[in-house]
Structures are given as structure tokens and as C-alpha cells.
Amino acid sequence: MFLPAKTVLVGVDGSQHSSRAATWAAAEAARLGASLHLVLAHDAAHRERAEEQVREIAVECRAAEPDLHVRAQAVPADPAEDLVSRSADAALLVVGSRGRGAVRDALLGSVSTAVATHAGCPVVVVRGEPSGRGPVVVGLDLSPTSRPALHFAFDRADRGGAELVVAQALPDAYFLPSILEDPERQRLQEDAEQQVGGELAVWRERYPEVVVRRVATDQHPVEALCSQAVGARLLVVGHRSRSAAATRLGSVALGSLHHSPCPVAVVGDQVDLDW
């Protein structure tokens, strides 16, 4: 089991997008056999309204998943700092995405960005209209960063009975002319396919029920992932979180969070693959 059956933590703020994230998280907690912990951080002046809002969201979650244990809490704290602190004891942290104005779909809320960067557990940012159907999509570049993400993606596909789409943008290939017979282009594709095959063999053996579809492309990684994520239930990307210099998300993770048409899971390289 990749995720221990404990708590799915959800950061809410009373808005529609956070309510949608909470409902998504409730279904995920039920699937994991975990409890659900809703947290609404507020300033002291708005305590009563915050308590009312988090109770309302809890009612919605219990209605959606009647057997789920739901805890709701309003706390006077900075939202991002509080969620990051609590994430060390969570199986999963879920937040909504929030944008502003005419370009709201391309913007991410500061809390979502902060927790995706610094949380001590996998983070799902719920974007768009979440669907329980479609494949799980994961980006793979064969770096240490992408391997925990691949493990997470196999686990999610296995639990949900979903197809797993493994998308790999060929390294530096999108700088080459788009001529199929280009020998350098062909060599890159063959090398990438061989390496991916070896990496996937380990997880295919561990998750034999998961149907895997591989996609190699010369698109930019963000473009490739978001293209494959159309109609998907979840897009999974890796994040180099161990480095002391990791004060921001990598370009692929951040780009995916900005533009993905489906919920995005950001999995840091602190995840232990032997869980």
C-alpha cells in the first residue's frame, strides 16, 4: 500500500472551489479507508463565520460519503503555514485552485502554490470539474524526482481501476526540426522508450492489474502532460522537495498546476518507495 490509511487533510476557505476540492477529497478518503480533516484558517475577527463555513462543508462531505469520519476545524492561523505544518501527519493534502479575473483558469492561488511546494505529503490541487472517470496521467523523465510520482500514479490507478498513461517528453527533442526521419530524433525516441520500459517493469510487476499506455512526444513537457490530461481523472507530477534550495516548484510542476484541465497531484521526492 502506497498511502497509509490515515487522514486526508483538506484546506478550505468557504468558497465554491474549496467546497469542490473537499467533495473530491471525501471520495478519495473513502477510497483510501482514511478519515477526512477539514481545516479553515482565518483571522480572529472572522472566527464565527469561519466556524459556520467549515461546518457547512463538513455537512456536504458527510452527505456525499455517509460512512466517512469527518472532522471540521476553524483555526486562527496563516492558511499555507498551518496546512504545511499539518501535512507531515497526513496521507494526502487537498486544496482547490483559485484564479482572478479574466485569466482565472491560468492563475493559481498563493495557498495552493505554497502547499504544493512545501508540504510533507503528496498534494492534490483540484482544478476544473473533477471526474471519477478517465485515466491517471503521469509525467516521467527518469530522474529521482519522477520515480515517487510514478509510484503514486500506479497506486492511484490500481485503487481506482483506471488506465495509467505514462507520458514522456523526449529530452531536448522539441528543439529538433519536426522531421520524422531525422536520425537524432529517432535515436532519442529509441533511448527513451528503452529506459521507460525498464523503469515500468518494476511497477508492472507490483501492480499487475494496471493497464499501462505509454506516450512519447516531442512536445514541451507541460504541453504534453496537459494534452494527455484532457478527460483524465488525475495528473501526477514530481517535485524536487528535498533540496534546501527548493523554495519554489519546478517549471513542469508549476506549469501543470497552471494549465491542467483536471486535478493535479504534486508528489515530492521525500516519499519513501518502500511504504
Nearest to 57 by CA among 164, 68, 209: 68
Longest Cα–Cα distance in the chain:
66
Q: Is the model more confident about 29 or about 171?
A: 29
Read off the pLDDT band of 242 (50, 70, 90). Answer: low
Rounded to an integer, what distance in angstroms lies between the CA atom of residue 147 and that of residue 235?
15
- For the chain, how are helix, strand and coil distributed in percent, rounded to 5? 45, 20, 35
Q: pLDDT digit string (tens) for 32-58?
A: 899 999 999 988 878 999 999 999 999
Note the pTM of the prediction, 2 decimals.
0.86
Rounded to an integer, what distance in angstroms lies between the CA atom of residue 40 and that of residue 38?
7
Signed CA dihedral, 189, 195, 200, 201: sign only: positive
Q: Please report, for residues 165, 189, 258, the alpha-carbon distance to residue 230 in angstroms, rounded to integers and kept in the order given.
A: 12, 24, 14
Residue 54: alpha-carbon gap to chain centroid: 23
pLDDT reported for residue 274: 42
Rounded to an integer, what distance in angstroms lies between the CA atom of residue 239 and that of residue 122?
10
Instruction: Give the type of residue at 21.
Output: A
pLDDT reported for residue 244: 43
Read off the pLDDT band of 202 (50, 70, 90). Answer: confident
Rounded to an integer, what distance in angstroms lies between the CA atom of residue 30 and that of residue 67?
8
